[in-house]
Amino acid sequence: MNDRQRGREDARRKAQLCIEVMEYTDETGMTFFYERYATELMFSDFVQDNNYKTEYESCHKYGKNLACPPFSPTCEDYLGKVEKARAICIRLPQEYFSHIAREDR
């Protein structure tokens, strides 16, 4: 393992994962609970080229949303000189979306 790999490994070990159970009440007064995960990730840990954009061509929304491929910027273009990013994941129970067709979720 070289120095760069050791540094990345140390950064991964130091990364803290914040886990919270959050509560949301909609306009009808119905309360929903969801899990929120957050951590900081070193941008250098990710290798991304523009080939990822072609992997999404089979998506029925491909080319219809400016935030999605092929219109979306590369990570390097989007983040510029940023060295790390905060990753946030929201986990919602599937039953919250039972009224939406599975292929549209």
Residue count (the chain): 105
Residue 7 structure tokens: 């540094």
Domain presence at residue 81: yes
Least confident range from 18-22, 50-54, 77-81, 96-100: namely 50-54
Backbone phi and psi for residue 70, each to the nearest 5 degrees, phi listed first = -90, 0
Whether the Cβ atoms of residue 59 and residue 103 lie closer than 8 Å to each other: no
Domain count, the chain: 1
Domain presence at residue 60: yes
Its domain, for residue 17, covers 3-94
Regarding pTM above 0.75, the answer is: no
Domain presence at residue 26: yes
Other C-beta atoms lying within 10 Å of the C-beta of residue 58: 7
Which residues 6+ apart lie within 8 Å of 60 measured at CB?
103
pLDDT in tens, 16-61: 788 899 999 989 998 999 999 999 888 777 666 667 777 788 888 8
Domain presence at residue 104: no
